[in-house]
Every structure is written in structure tokens, then in C-alpha cells.
Amino acid sequence: MLKISVIIASTRKNRFSEKPAKWIYDAVRKRNDAEAEILDLRDWPLPFYSDEFPPIALAGRYKDSIVKEWSKKIASADAYIIVTPEYNHGYPAVLKNALDWLYFEWNNKPVGFVSWGSVEGARSVEQLRQVSIELQMFPIRNSLNIKDFSDNFDLIQKPADLFLNQLIWWGNALKVVRSQNPPSFV
């Protein structure tokens, strides 16, 4: 069974993020080919990245206990869905920090994006695609861009099905590759 982590990328009070995160989480749970877990960045108070070495050089040897737990949680997933608003033409700093703390744990796994905000969050997704490629993740082609701040996601249900089909297909393909070539630091 493919394990998908749905990452809620905003920690603001009165955030909209919980609605689309719950919706896409439920969409995964209705399927018989994947399981989902929500990772809310509110529950992961990672310090600002300040290690003297980059994560690629640390190779999993983290000093901070919450970073060690974050590493285990991210490494245990086969694919990710990042649920993010667009803030000032970009994505939240708390998400960038969560991404930057790790390296190998993200490698060779697909990622999809659910976004909203100015131009439906498209600019935050563009930036996240660049960062995810540097982390050797595989951003899928389709993203889910939300037009309004309601909890009615009927308009994007069909695109969501295609989105999940693509994410799960890539997740299964890359899971096979990772099983044959595990990360060197594990």
C-alpha cells in the first residue's frame, strides 16, 4: 500500500488550509491503492535551519530531537501532497524551513500540490516545483488550484481524481526504484 503524507503548509490562525487538506486526505482514503496521513506543520515546531552543515552533508545525523522525528516521518512516506497557500507570490516560510531541514528523506518520491490564493496559488506551486526538483523529488504535472475559499471542492473533484492517479502511479514506480537502490545514509 502506498503511503502518502498530506502536509499542511500554513500555521496561521484562522487558516483555510485545513479544509483542502481534509478534503484531499479523504479523497485518498476512499481509494484502495493508497493510505494517507496528515502532517500539520503546527505539530512540527522545527527550529529555523541553523546547522553548520547542509542536510546532504549531515546524511541523517541530526542533533535536534524534533528534526530527528521529522526525518523519520518524512522518510516513511512514499509520496507527498503539499497543501499550501500563496503568500506574497510564494509559499510560507514555515514550509521552506521544513523542506530545508532534510535532503535524502525526500529523494526519489513524487510530490503534488494543492494551492490557493492570488492566481489560485500558481506562483507558490511554480516555486515549490523548483525546490522539490533540487531535493530530488518528482513533482507531478497536475496540481489542484482552488478558486475560492469555501469548503465545496466539487469543481475540482475530477481533476483531483486525475491528480491522485498520477501521484499514485509515480509513487508506485519510484517505490520499486527505491527498493532496489536505497539511500546511502540509511
**DSSP per position, 158-174:** HHHHHHHHHHHHHHHHH
Closest CA to 51 of 122, 102, 96, 114: 102
* pTM, to two decimals: 0.94
Average pLDDT estimate for 77-82: 98
> H or E element: which one contains 34?
strand 34-40
For residue 83, pLDDT beyond 50? yes
Query: Is the CATH code 1.10.540.10 the one for domain 2-180?
Result: no
Q: Which of the 8 DSSP states describes residue 50?
A: -
Closest CA to 98 of 59, 66, 129, 143: 66
Q: Residue ranges per domain, the chain?
A: 2-180
Q: Measured between alpha carbons, how far is 141 from 110 in angstroms, rounded to an integer?
A: 10
> To the nearest whole number, what is the mean pLDDT of the chain?
93
Res 183: pLDDT: 62
Are the C-beta atoms of residues 114 and 171 closer than 8 Å to each other? no
